[in-house]
Structure 1
Amino acid sequence: MAWESLLGQTGGHQALQAALGLIAIQVGMGMVIKMAQTDGSSSLSPSGSSTMSELAKLVLSAVLFRRECARRRNRGIGPKAAGDKSHGGSFDHGDDAELEGHGSSLNLCLLWRYFKGDVGMDKRLGYYLLALCYALINNLVFASNKLADAGTVQLVSSGGTLVTAMLMMAGLKAALARTQWAAIWIQSLGLVLAQYEPSKGAACHWSTYLLLVVQLLLSAASSLYNQHLLKSSDSSLHADNMMLFGSGAVINLGFHVLLGLVSSSEPGLLQGYNSAGAVLVVLNVFAGIAVTCVYKHADAVVACLATATATAMLLCAPPLFSGTKLGVLVIPGTALVFAASWLYVASPLPKSAESRLVTTSWGSGRRRALSLALTLATAVIVALLAEVEAEAPLAMDAAPALETTLSALSPVAHSPVAHSPVAHSPFAHSLAMVRWNSARPERIPLLTKYAPFFDTLHLSMPGLMPDRDAGFYNWTHDQFVEIELVYMQVANMMHMALSEHARIDGLLFFHFDAWVDPLAWPPSQQHMWASYGTPHYACINDTKAYDWWGWSRGFHKAAMAAMEALDQLGLDYRLRRDEWCVGWSDIYWIPRRFFADFVLLSHIFARFKVFHEVAIATMLHIIDSTRRGASAQSLLTLVDDCWGSCCSSNPTVTNVLEARCGHRLDYLSPAVYQPYYDKLDRQARMLHQPRR
């Protein structure tokens, strides 16, 4: 019964077929992207890959339009006259040349007449502006994925159906039944629930949210305008597609040339394609055709529901590909999405009222002026977006591979194949510092398996170089012996990075018996983070507020002495002399932009012999309080999904394989640690760069 109301409408069968096809294609795209991660890939140019897919769509649409025109000619239906919205006119005596050789190939002149009759000048301008809008959306998506984690992008995009419905009601004067409004709200809630993870997520700068909202509004408005153009006359769907995709190919090619001039990092037009990339281009072509069929025979809300359904299906995919667990709310959220889609199509769909949209007929001079002005404005925006730097805050999501799968579905109509993911380590330009507090050289071969994921792997172990002084260190090794002040050696490495290694973007510190899954982190980490285990991070001014063994040894007094000395320097640090912090310090990350602060503070705290679990937590708190200024957004994130704590032991093999970080590995139990290092080997083979 759910589909009968849809099938009962004019074009209902086509609408159903197009919607189901769109779902199948988008799910297929997500799966291909996910499977491509195991083979590796190269990055594609967003505008370049869009050019290729739009060109392929144009060719396919032209073939279909030519076949349709041949059928019209065989039935004696000639090209439409300008401004004629009927299906077509008859051939007159002046058309004998075209009628000769009935059934033979159409000549280009007649095919062009059919095209001009179906797509008038105003409609051509509309499709050109629509293609311009889609090109801008593609670049907004690319910029959004650099500024925010994919989970945040998808959560904002979850409101797409609701926004589209509201704009359809306001702009197209369309009416929706109350049941349909309920379905739309339920679908939006279902998507949010399916993608929500308690205690995880990322906060972004307000400008990033503004960009996401603009992208959402622009995508919804474009979908509705596309729907209006398709339904404004009884023209050929394939002719409309030819105009849209042809304009898209030209515009994206122009933007590709422009970006090549303003950005040296822009890949070549054909660069980065492999078998998976080629399959994605083909799927993107069919997705573009399918979504225009949905707009033509149904409406933009149905297209949004189809995409939401595909997204919900892909949210259930991780166990099928990587063995990871589903989020706690994926199943109920997915069920809500399916139920909402059924509820929407089960309700009677009122006849849309696109004809009430106010339209304007433009003169040729005004058309050219409008097209030129909007093209230049869009080109400027695209060039500016290309310069956006990745400043994404830390996203607490243990399944980054799924994020790339979901991001392939936005926007609906023209999702850029350029966003197909690459197996690339987020620490490719980072320094990893692995610390031993005692000599365990037999463990070094296992720890070197981290090397492919980092720019440099630094090993820190007492007695590592017995022929050198205890204080000797270089870029790859040190033998620092003061265990309680190990942060001083971390500062030494940061100082070396600042003075000699400009490519290093941050430092990840972890003990040799910890584990850190290098591919389970977001691509850009501009915030500090530390693992949240015992002793739990806390800043206090009274030892009674936190029960910890270190207070009896006076660790807090040394910290307060260091704070007083720092305050007397008259620097711009925000601190309280009577406040100190404590926290687990076996795993933490410091971005390069905070290296100088960490180096300075380490020298002061080491001078007063402040214990590392007090010193590091206090220094991170000072940096956070000072550098965030008036912002309420902390620059320090506590990672609460690391397994264990300072003194935990005996993790299971399941703990080690599922948690993205943890402490401690038992190196006397090969059955536990070996599967993890085998996993590292598999991940290393996924990287686009060769193992070192």
Structure 2
Amino acid sequence: MPLFLGRLASANRAAYLAALCLVAIQVGIGIVMKTAQSSGGYRFSPTASVAISEFFKWLLSVAFFAWECTIRAQQGTPPKSETRGYSVIPRDDHEFDDIDVVGATKPNRPARLTIRLYWQYIRSEITARTRWELCNLALLYVLVNNTIFACYNEADPGTIALVKSSGTVITALVMIGTIGASVSRMQWLAIALQLCGLLVTQYTPGSGTTYTPFTYMLIMFHVFLGALAGVYNQVLLQRESCSMHANNMTLYAAGTLFNLVGHLLVRLVSPEEPTFFHGFDRLGAILVIVSNVFVGLAITAVYKYADAVIKCFATALATGILLYVSTILFHTHLGFLAVPGTLLVFIASWIYIRNPPPPRPAESKSAGRCSSSFAATMGRWPKTSVLGAFLQTMLVVILLWVPDITLREEDDDGSHSVLLDSPFRNTVAFVRWNHAIPERIPAIMKYDPFFHTMHLSMRDSVKSEPENFLNMTHDQHVNTGHPQEPVAKTMKLILEHEPDVDGMLFFHFDAWVTPMEFMGMDMTRMAIPMDGGPNFRCYETIPTDKWEHAQQEDLFTAVGRAVRLQPPELPDDGEVVPSPRRYSKEKRAGCRGWSDIYYIPRRFFADYIFLVERVFHDTFHEMSVATMMHMIDRTRSRTPFTSFIDPMPCWGSCCSKNPSEDALLWHRCGHKLDLRSDRAKLHWDRIDAAAFQVNRTNSGGVNGTTARDILV
């Protein structure tokens, strides 16, 4: 620590400024990449975004190289006399006088840069072989830049930054295999500490890892590609004494072209892919491009004005900020071991940089087998190598953004079906009407292919039955403010007669749900909208607003009764507390939230039923549902740092209406939608198309029983 403080004390102002810029850009790009998403995806094409970013990088490189060539011309330095495979550069110094340069009669006299002279500088700067190798490097960066979008689709910015900070082992292995680099014993120790720190941050006792193994593999694949591209770029820059800006011009020009081709191929395979400029009228999409353009400049400035240690700590600071911001902006849950694990990762990074291996004698250095083999291949067949790499890269890009194309198979009649399961295949959809509107039922039944069973809750829906009639597919509950009562009764039927059902999704008929966009949802956790209104929040005193003030007094009375009750027995699954003595009593015990859409997993049915029957049967549902979910969560969690409630990103609120076309298409759920409007047709067309993907029709459910079967 004293050594680091001494380094900071002696660092110049430029190093501080470069490091701060890097921190700001890395934090900004993490937030921008995540906030630019809508309903777990991007409303613009990621391949188009990368192509546009590469184009602007190319423009900057052109400007920087022009500035460099202006200085060369003023110093009287002509283009390189070596033709490097071209015949347009004069070989005789006297021929330089004939080039259209004002005031240049000799190579060492000042001159003014013209377009012709600038072109001569460009063509003479890089060899033909290096141009082809830069094309290969551009293909690597195509994968790097596309996989980072895929990573942000799967994880939060803090986790991505932390895993990337822990990717030193991948970088070390790449450098050993490609350029024959060596790693000291202390560096291997630092790598081991980094991996331990990463495991500590991402693993929570009782609930497992934060994300799926696929997510971590995807981020590691991105880190591997970045390490490979960085080493390759370093080799190309060090091999020849050419301008970095000239290299970048070729690199970014090829990157623009390759990403454009990738976008066209994705559009060809998947017509649903947004067009090239679609979605870039939004500030978030524009900021994604701007941040991707300038992040490279910030890293270059840090290496120029500071050193690798300053960059390491700048990255560590940015990672810490992103981890904290992710919990606020993106509702990311951090376990109680996240802070010590993150500190361990940062300390290990510092140890790695401060303990490099001793330099080897020049005669003992080798380029590494992989690097030598690749160089030999490029020297013999440069065009063939680039073509092979291009085909492989385009295939990976297509697989990244059209993940379901490999799931299609041809049936006996020549048609194609998609072998996809609905995420709600074992879920009951409980659809609630506050009024008798039977003409809306046929539209709602379009959801039937995606759910185990459709349950319709509407008064007078089965005219031959009494008002209190309820079975697996119907109930006629009248009280519009307390739908939790028929929900609890339906849950009891499920527990008694439907062992295959693993949860219930409740939503009002005028809400919209796009089932296939819930792929990846953790079906063992509760979910409720966190945005819109009323926001999900808990409090210890009654707020002085206009939102059902009188009923909130009843809510606190109900909470007081609930905390004196012993919860029902649940099986011990290693994650949920099986038999606490009392429901959890916290100061912030009364809650309210937007409950027009919510999800309850089967393992919490018993708690829901118990609380409704004993306490919350006559409490307004916008307060009772949120309070019950909060009490279940606090009672069943083994530690105060874990939660069983996930935010559900839905459009609107309890009282919103008339969503825009973009809101409808870019949100997987929302409230409310007029089923008679043209917008509703847009939604149902999408539902019909998705029903084809699950290889079922709209005339029968998964278990063969539909609400229409007994509809009168």
Q: TM-score range by the shorter chain?
A: 0.5 to 0.7
96, 108, 111: which one aligns with 2:115: 108
Residue 63 of structure 1 pairs with residue 63 of structure 2: yes
Partner secondary structure for residue 509 of structure 1: strand
Paired residue for 1:383, among 371, 383, 398?
398
**Given that residues 141 and 229 in structure 2 are in contact (C-alpha distance below 8 angstroms), is that contact kept between their aligned partners in structure 1?**
yes
User: Which letter maps to 1:233?
Assistant: E
Alignment partner of 1:173 is 2:180? yes
Q: Residues 40 and 293 of structure 1: is their aligned pair in 2 closer, same or farther, counting only changes over 3 Å?
A: same
Q: Deviations over 1:301-340 (max 9, x none)?
A: 9978865653343112235446776431222122223333
Is the CA contact (8 Å cut-off) linking 1:164 and 1:221 kept in structure 2?
yes
Q: Does the 8 Å contact 2:51/2:259 carry over to 1?
A: yes
Over 3 Å counting, the alpha-carbon distance change for 1:83 and 1:151 in structure 2 is same
Worse-matched range after superposition: 178-187 or 346-355: 346-355
**Cα pair 1:390 1:524 within 8 Å, conserved:** no
Amino acid corresponding to residue 94 of structure 1 in structure 2: E
For residue 238 of structure 1, report the CA deviation from its aligned partner: 1.7
How many angstroms does 1:50 deviate by? 1.0
1:255-404, aligned counterparts within 5 Å? 255-273=262-280, 274-291=282-299, 310-321=318-329, 326-347=334-355, 356-357=366-367, 360=375, 366-389=381-404
Aligned pair in 2 of structure 1 residues 106, 196: CA closer, same or farther (>3 Å)?
farther
1:380 shift after superposition: 3.3
Instruction: Please give the secondary structure, in 2, of the residue aligned with 1:78.
Output: coil
Which moves more between the two structures, 38-47 or 325-334?
38-47
What is the Cα deviation at residue 22 of structure 1? 3.6
Normalised to the residue count of structure 1, the TM-score between the two structures is 0.58
The offset of 1:278, in angstroms, is: 0.3
Pair 1:281–1:511, CA change in 2 (3 A): closer
Looking at structure 2, the residues matched to 240 and 4 of structure 1 have their Cα atoms a distance apart, in angstroms, of: 37
Aligned residue among 237, 240, 244 for 2:247: 240
Q: How does 1:75-224 map to 2 (within 5 A)?
A: 75-82=75-82, 92-96=93-97, 97=99, 99-100=101-102, 106-140=113-147, 159-201=166-208, 215-224=222-231
- 1:49 corresponds in structure 2 to 49
Change (3 A) 1:333 1:101: farther
Q: Hey, what's the Cα distance between the residues in 1 that align with 2:155 and 2:35?
A: 24
SS of 2:199's equivalent?
Answer: helix
Separation in 2, partners of 1:82, 1:655: 79
Q: Percent identity?
A: 30
**In structure 2, what residue type is equivalent to 1:377?**
Q
CA deviation vs aligned residue, 1:190-214 (integer Å, no higher than 9, x gap): 3333333333346999988877665
Specify the code of the residue in structure 1 equivalent to 2:176.
M
Letter in 2 for 1:244: L
Task: Give distance in 2, aligned partners of 1:490 and 1:151.
Answer: 44
Instruction: Tell me the C-alpha RMSD between the 2 structures.
Output: 5.9
Contact 1:6–1:345 (CA<8 Å) still a contact in 2? Answer: no
2:4 is matched with: 2
Aligned residue in 2 for 1:524? 519
| Equivalences for residues 379-528 of structure 1 within 5 A | 379-389=394-404, 433-434=429-430, 465=461, 467-469=463-465, 478-479=475-476, 486-487=493-494, 508-509=503-504, 523-525=518-520
Structure 1 unaligned spans of 5+: 392-425, 443-450, 495-505, 513-517, 533-612, 618-636
Q: Alpha-carbon deviation of 1:654?
A: 6.2
Q: Is the 8 A contact 2:129 2:379 kept in 1?
A: no
Name the CA distance, whole Å, in 1 between partners of 2:187 and 2:13.
Answer: 20
Structure 1 residues 508 and 60, CA gap change in structure 2 (3 angstroms) = farther
CA distance in 2, matches of 1:523, 1:484: 22
The AA in structure 2 aligned to 1:95 is: F
Equivalent-residue separation in structure 2 for 1:380 and 1:276 (angstroms)? 28
Pick closer, same or farther for the CA change 1:477–1:124 going to 2, 3 Å: farther
Offset at 1:62? 1.3
Q: Would the alpha carbon gap of residues 194 and 654 (structure 1) be closer, same or farther in structure 2, given more than 3 Å must change?
A: farther
**Higher RCO by CA contacts (8 Å cutoff, separation 6 or greater):** 1
How many angstroms apart in 1 are the aligned matches of 2:39 and 2:524?
A: 31
CA contact (8 A) 1:433 1:459 kept: yes
Q: Describe the shift of the 1:146–1:39 C-alpha distance in structure 2 as closer, same or farther (beyond 3 A).
A: closer
Do the aligned partners of 1:118 and 1:239 also contact (CA within 8 Å) in 2? yes
Quick check: 223-232 or 190-199, which moved more? 190-199
**C-alpha spacing 1:655/1:270, structure 2 compared with 1 (3 Å):** farther
Normalising by structure 2, report the TM-score: 0.57
CA distance in 2, matches of 1:355, 1:7: 36
CA contact (8 A) 1:69 1:114 kept: yes
2-structure distance, mates of 1:384, 1:196: 29
Measure, in 1, the Cα distance between the counterparts of 2:170 and 2:62: 33
Cα deviations by residue, 1:450-475 (Å, 9 ceiling, x for unpaired): x9xx9999765596647453598999
Which is worse superposed, 73-82 or 33-42?
33-42
Q: Structure 1 residues 65, 490: CA separation in 2 closer, same or farther (over 3 Å shift)?
A: farther
